[in-house]
Structure 1
Amino acid sequence: MPNQLEQLKSMTTVVADTGDFAAIKQYQPQDATTNPSLVLKAIEQIQYQHLTDEALQWAKTHQQGQEVVTLAADKLAVMIGCQLLDEVPGLVSTEVDARLSFDTKATIDKAHQLLSLYQQTGADTSRILIKIAATWEGIDAARVLEQQGVKCNLTLIFGFAQTRACAEAGIYLISPFVGRILDWYKKINPEQDYTGEKDPGVISVRQIYQYFKQNRYDTIVMGASFRNIQQIQWLAGCDRLTISPVLLNDLADNQQPLTRHLQAGDSLPSMDEVLTEQAFRWQMNQDQMATEKLAEGIRQFGADQLKLEKLLTEGL
């Protein structure tokens, strides 16, 4: 019998949640996605440190002062993205600086800058997803980008208001964070049993998946941020799942049959009223978990972006 990774690939598009090229070669996912934390982790490995020097040398020929570091960070993300494009047959997500999460125009401008850097390398930009935090401003920026033909991956999804706003904006793909949702509930109720189908992160993604399918939204649901393979097993059949190398290995080592748990049900009429900004903000305000985890995620990605820029500054 095929291992569980191969079984999963037959029902779900598997995406590598890493910047580790060796792991991607080993597990052969369809797509790959990165974020500032993963880029930072990648360049801290000796075999990838030359990318930092190359990005800095390139940036110094195009900018001066502190702008050299900012441009080098973008160039580095694109360089890693280009290598990922060589390793996977599908799409690669590259993330916009989390510090722009509340600025629609700056997010749009940064997305175009990243795509321009990709174009300068000769990369096929139709295979690039621009990854943006799912704030109201981020979703609004992605709405504009999608209308311009730029595919987006809205990340740090925790609440239903975020998912509905993304679907109504015509976003290509969303990334609900399964493990971080579980983290929050375990912290609040440490004695509660959250195993298997009772995992709140699993429940969230299954509800999103069914809502999208029943309302005929084209937005792809890609579960992310897994803590164990049980979460992945219970979401088998989801459109896509982005998985770390450790959990890809666990799946590859598991020879047990894998059951498909998610599949599209009957369609329902789409909602007539579009979610307004006021309604979005109120619903997020009422969802303590989503509000706290979104803010925390943005802070974490912003902090890792600063660490990355510090490393680049030291390289100067």
Structure 2
Amino acid sequence: MNDASSSATNQLDQLKRFTKVVADTGDFESMREFEPQDATTNPSLILAASGQPQYSYLIEQAIGEHAKGGLSGQQRLDSIINRVLILFGKEILKIVPGRVSTEVDARLSFDTAGTIDLAKRLIGLYADEGIERDRVLIKIASTWEGIRAAEVLEKEGIHCNLTLLFSLPQAIACAEAKVQLISPFVGRIYDWYKNSTGKEYSGADDPGVQSVGQIYDYYKKFGYKTEVMGASFRNIGQITELAGCDLLTISPNLLAELQAGTDPLEQKLDEATAKQSDVEKITLDEKTFRFQLNEDAMATEKTAEGIRKFAADMVKLEQLISEKAEVPVA
């Protein structure tokens, strides 16, 4: 393992030496301040940003562009929402040098064909703006149906970020499908174990940290190209324990905490070490995947909960835009 030089100005700068830092926000000013490589969005983040006055112009632009035309009702509303997602993504890509993740409607999490159709539509809308598909990751929930959709999309050169991922079977299925990137949710795993056991976890004992470490070791051991991006952090201890992970997506408040911290930061995950780990290869078909996921109460509950929350926030976003555009919600 490597130590960052103690002469580094802060922990965020040190972390960037080992790991690509990604902004987990829809707030443009935070991205400018912390200079991440990539940025991720989801329905909850877009909803939060849409309610802020400084971003209302994007909503108004999307609505204005649909003032005329043949669409009406739900079709018009869907088209406006897709346009809002693209406008946010386009602005983000003016700030970050890398990629933006744009999420499909969580209500399609068990609809392979529907996910593929919407992903292609979103990529087409980005293309209309002159944005190449290599700068966009389509975020899809790590259900069996979502992973199958991602497999098809990757073969067509549409890269995917498989989100709401809480277990090794989900990670293995994603790697076998050759998806570009996965987002295991560190903080939500921690939340479940803390609530279920009543214990406090920190450092290397944190179940969320352990889950990402296990996935990282498995991927590097068997040479998978899928990138691992730890997500959903509750404290900087979880982040520093995963220094060396391919990417980490971090909220603005924790980016600020890292920027203010000056303690030396040690690389904890390392590809060469992972390749030497004692890990057995696991083979999964649909039945095995579903059974192993079912056996993991935490992963089952947190995946379902995450889908419900993102779906609910998409409904709220629909309602917000419906009121502004005077389009009835179906």
What TM-score comes out, normalization by structure 2 length? 0.93
Mapping of residues 41-190 of structure 1, within 5 Å: 41-62=48-69, 63-190=71-198
Matched to 1:212, the amino acid is: Y
Match of 2:312 in 1: 303
Match of 1:230 in 2: 237
Q: Equivalent residue of 1:238, what SS?
A: coil
Q: Give the deviation of 1:69 after TM superposition.
A: 1.2
Q: Give the deviation of 1:269 after TM superposition.
A: 11
Mapping of residues 231-250 of structure 1, within 5 Å: 231-250=238-257
8 Å contact 2:142–2:163 — kept in the other structure?
yes
8 Å contact 1:213–1:267 — kept in the other structure?
no
**Is the counterpart of residue 285 in structure 1 residue 285 in structure 2?**
no
**Structure 1 residues 71 and 200, CA gap change in structure 2 (3 angstroms):** same
Q: Give the deviation of 1:273 after TM superposition.
A: 6.9
Q: 1:249-302: per-residue Cα shift (whole Å, max 9, x none)? A: 000000110011000123689977741001100001101000000000000000
Q: 1:189-234: per-residue Cα shift (whole Å, max 9, x none)? A: 11x2411111100000011001100011001000000000000010
8 Å contact 1:16–1:29 — kept in the other structure?
yes
Say which is worse superposed, 140-149 or 59-68, in terms of deviation.
59-68
Matched to 1:85, the amino acid is: L
How far apart in 1 are the matches of 2:36 and 2:44?
Answer: 20
8 Å contact 1:216–1:270 — kept in the other structure?
no
**Structure 1 residues 220 and 44, CA gap change in structure 2 (3 angstroms):** same
Matched to 2:324, the amino acid is: G
Q: Equivalent residue of 1:250, what SS?
A: helix
Q: Equivalent residue of 2:115, what SS?
A: helix
Q: 1:214 aligns with which of 203, 212, 221?
A: 221
Q: Equivalent residue of 2:76, what SS?
A: helix
How far apart in 1 are the matches of 2:240 and 2:201?
Answer: 15
The alignment of Structure 1 onto Structure 2 pairs a total of residues equal to: 315
8 Å contact 1:143–1:171 — kept in the other structure?
yes
8 Å contact 2:161–2:183 — kept in the other structure?
yes
How far apart in 2 are the matches of 1:310 and 1:282?
Answer: 37
**Is the counterpart of residue 13 in structure 1 residue 20 in structure 2?**
yes
8 Å contact 2:133–2:159 — kept in the other structure?
no
Q: Equivalent residue of 1:204, what SS?
A: helix
Q: Equivalent residue of 1:87, what SS?
A: coil
8 Å contact 1:36–1:301 — kept in the other structure?
yes
How far apart in 1 are the matches of 2:145 and 2:279?
Answer: 24
Q: 1:2-24: per-residue Cα shift (whole Å, max 9, x none)? A: 20000000100000000100000
How far apart in 1 are the matches of 2:276 and 2:92?
Answer: 36
Q: 1:33-60: per-residue Cα shift (whole Å, max 9, x none)? A: 1000000111111110111111112234
8 Å contact 1:215–1:268 — kept in the other structure?
no
Matched to 2:32, the amino acid is: K
8 Å contact 2:137–2:158 — kept in the other structure?
yes
Q: Equivalent residue of 1:10, what SS?
A: helix
Which blocks of at least 5 consecutive residues in structure 1 are unaligned? none
Q: Give the deviation of 1:66 after TM superposition.
A: 1.9
Q: Equivalent residue of 1:131, what SS?
A: strand
Q: Moved runs in structure 1, 4+ residues, more than 6 A?
A: 268-273
How far apart in 2 are the matches of 1:6 and 1:123?
Answer: 29
Superposed CA RMSD: 1.5
**Structure 1 residues 284 and 60, CA gap change in structure 2 (3 angstroms):** farther
Which blocks of at least 5 consecutive residues in structure 2 are unaligned? 1-6, 326-330
8 Å contact 1:222–1:239 — kept in the other structure?
yes
Matched to 1:50, the amino acid is: Y
How far apart in 1 are the matches of 2:214 and 2:158?
Answer: 27
Matched to 1:36, the amino acid is: P
